[in-house]
A and B are shown apart, each in its own frame.
Chain A
Amino acid sequence: DTGVSQNPRHKITKRGQNVTFRCDPISEHNRLYWYRQTLGQGPEFLTYFQNEAQLEKSRLLSDRFSAERPKGSFSTLEIQRTEQGDSAMYLCASSLTSFRAETQYFGPGTRLLVL
């Protein structure tokens, strides 16, 4: 399978704990995006990378959130001191920057529940 993969698929944690999610994009894709999806809503952009450079961060991304993409391959999203409001599905997508309408390919997501 050469699609986007995310691990873990599910994470339950207690409030105040730190969590880290991993995303492995499609191998030749240079762009990697993180989105968050809450129940009944569409995905909302968090941050994205071109290769290893983080190009943009949403206002949704508080200072408790950090993302990295070392060597321009996989990416990690860390949430420190989790809060119940962080409970959501975290989606990763990748694309190849070429033409205007780049298609983003999504992974299955990591569902986070903060107790």
Chain B
Amino acid sequence: GDSVTQMEGPVTLSEEAFLTINCTYTATGYPSLFWYVQYPGEGLQLLLKATKADDKGSNKGFEATYRKETTSFHLEKGSVQVSDSAVYFCALIPPSGNTPLVFGKGTRLSVIA
């Protein structure tokens, strides 16, 4: 079945460091891909998404590019802030489109000043 694999955390970075969180997926066809973020004590929020190969999703300085050839959707940010400390989830919706999200296990990011 469809699945998402994320790099295990926790990830600890100093402020202004470069961030990469790896995400790969297994799915038939071309799923839609998402990154959600969960800040402490809050619900899941959509961070960015991409719906077809080579699409780049971006928001709040975060970016991720849909790579069909490597079945990946890695999350990157050039300079993290303390306020970026959260749990990040990679997720997909299968190509049929009208189905629930399939999530990875999440990666906890801690940014220290």
A residues contacting B by CB (< 8 A) are 4, 31, 33, 35, 40-45, 48, 56, 91, 93, 97, 99-109
Contact = CB atoms under 8 A, between A and B. Distances in A.
Given A4-B43, A106-B43, A108-B42, 14 more contacts: A31-B98, A35-B100, A40-B105, A40-B106, A41-B106, A42-B4, A43-B89, A43-B101, A56-B99, A91-B44, A99-B97, A100-B51, A102-B98, A103-B46
Q: Which of A4, A43, A105 is the most central at the interface, judged by chain B CB atoms within 10 Å of its CB? A: A43
A91 B43 contact: yes
A48 B100 contact: yes
A101 B93 contact: yes
A42 to B, nearest CB: 3
Interface of B: 4, 32, 34, 36, 42-46, 49, 51, 89, 91, 93, 95, 97-106
A107 B49 CA distance: 19
Given A56-B100, A101-B51, A43 B32 contact: no
